[in-house]
Amino acid sequence: MKLKSIFIVFCMTLILFSFPRSGYSDVVNFKNGDQLAGELLSLSKGILNFATIYSKKIEIDKSQIKSLRTNHSVRVQLRNGWKIKGKLRPTDEGLYSIRTGDANQKAFVEFEEITSINAPTEKPRAWEGKIHAGGSHQSGNTDRVTLNLGGEGNMKFGAERIELKFLTVYAEEDEKITSRNTFGRMQYDHYFSEKWYGLLSMEAFNDKFKNLNLRLAVGPGAGYHFWDDDVKTLKLEAGITYFSEDLKNGEDTQFMTGRLAEKFGYKFSKIFSFKNETVVFPSFEKIGDMKLRNEASLNTRMSEDWSLSLSHILDYDNDAPSGTGSSDSTTTFGLQYEF
C-alpha cells in the first residue's frame, strides 16, 4: 500500500512538471486581439520564433505583434548596436522595460528599436567587395597601351558602415603618357534608424593632365536609404564639404562647398546588374559653379566570384584650372573578382 501511494505521488508530480508553469510563460498579444502563450525562442530579421505546448516552433511576423512579454531573461539587441539582457515587459506608455539581473535597473525602449532577441552570436563581419583590372594594347600605325586597376569594399557591423573605393587609370601612346590619374574615396556611415544615417566622407583625386597634384574633399552629411533589398538599392545624401586643390601650376585653393550624392543599383537578373553613383559639389559662392563625378557600370557575372565590368566615368568642373578642359570622360572594361 505504501509503495502504491509513493507511485501515485511520483506520477502526479511527473505530470505536473510536464506542463509549462504559467508563471514562466511568455505571452504574445496580436493586433487582431489574439493571444499566444509559450516560450519565446528568438527574433531575427522581422520573424519571431515561438514555441507552445502543441507546437515546437511557430514563425510570427513582427509587424503583427501588438505587445510581447517574457518571464525569463532574453538577449535584446537594439538598432543602435546596444545589447541588453533581461526580462522584457510592455509599459502603459507604449514602451518596453527590460529588467536586468538587478531588479532596480531597467532600460526603456521602443519595440521598433529592437532588431533581434536571442539571435545567434554572429562572427565579426569581414570585408566584402570587388577588385577589377583591365587594359588594351594596340600596335602598328599607333603604339597604344591602356591600363586600369580599381576596387571597392564595404564592411557592416551593427549600426556602422565603412566603404572604400579606388581607381587608377594609365594610358600611353607612342611612348608618350596621355593619361594618368588616381581616385579614392572613404565613407563612414552611422545608422540612427533603419533608413536615416549620418556620414563622414573623404575623396581624393590626382590627375597629371588636369594640373592637379591633389584634390581633397572632406565633410559630414546625412543620408536616407530608400531601397535596400536583393534587387535594388537607392541612397540619397546631402552635406557640406571642405575642398582643397593643390595645383601643379597656379594658386592653390581652399573653400567650403555643398555635397549632394546618389547611389543607385539594380539587379536585372542573377548575372546582369547596373550601378550608378553621382556626387555633386555645388558652390556656395557662385550659383551654377559645381564639380561633379558620375560613374555608371554594368556587370555580367560569369561565375560565383568572377564577372566582367564595363564602366563610364564623367568628371566635370566648370571652373577647371587654367589650361584644362571642363570635363573628362573615361570608359573602362575589365575582369572583376568579388570577395
Name the residue among 273, 90, 79, 312 with its Cα closest to residue 195. 79
Q: What is the pLDDT of residues 4-45, one digit of tens each?
A: 555 555 555 544 444 444 444 889 989 998 988 888 888 888
Give me 91's grid cell. 509599459
Average pLDDT score over residue span 163-167: 96
Res 288: pLDDT = 80
- Give the integer Cα–Cα distance in Å for 112 and 158: 16
Query: What tens digit of pLDDT does each residue of 99-122 get?
Result: 665 555 677 888 888 888 888 765
> Which tops the pLDDT comparison, 203 or 3?
203
Q: Which distant-in-sequence residues (6+ apart) come within 8 Å of 3 by Cβ?
A: none
Q: How far is CA 15 from the centre of its chain?
A: 51
pTM for this one? Answer: 0.64
Provide the residue type at 310 as one letter: L
Handedness of CA 109, 115, 120, 121 (dihedral sign): negative
Dihedral angle at the C-alpha atoms of 42, 45, 46, 51, nearest 10 degrees? -20
Q: What is the pLDDT of residues 72-93, one digit of tens each?
A: 888 888 888 788 888 888 887 7
Task: Set out the domains of the chain in order of their start, with CATH numbers.
Answer: 21-117 (2.30.30), 128-338 (2.40.160.40)
Kindly state the cell numbers that stand for 72: 525569463
The answer to whether the Cα torsion of 266, 268, 273, 274 is positive or negative is negative
Q: What's the pLDDT tens digit per position in 181-208?
A: 999 999 999 999 989 999 999 999 999 8
Q: What is the mean pLDDT of residues 129-134?
A: 92
Higher-pLDDT residue of 179, 280: 280
Residue with cell 543602435: 80
Across residues 157-179, what is the average pLDDT?
90
CA 244 vs CA 106, 206, 213: distances in Å: 49, 12, 11
Q: Which residue has the higher pLDDT, 47 or 121?
A: 47
Q: How far apart are CA 29 and CA 175, in angstroms?
A: 76
CB 328 within 8 A of CB 210: yes
Nearest to 9 by CA among 282, 17, 22, 330: 17
Q: Say which residue, 93 or 225, is predicted with more confidence.
A: 225
With CA atoms as reference, report the closest residue to 244 among 252, 232, 254.
254
H or E element, residue 6 = helix 2-18
Of 26-30, 226-230, 294-298, 324-328, the least confident: 324-328
pLDDT value at residue 121: 65
Q: Residue 68 pLDDT more than 80?
A: yes
Q: Which range (105-109, 263-267, 278-282) has the least confidence? A: 105-109
* C-alpha grid cell, residue 284: 556656395
- Asked whether the predicted pLDDT for residue 242 surpasses 70, the reply is yes
Rounded Cα–Cα distance for residues 229 and 237 (Å): 19
How many angstroms separate the CA atoms of 274 and 298, rounded? Answer: 5
pLDDT score, position 219 = 96
Q: Check residue 17 and give its pLDDT.
A: 43
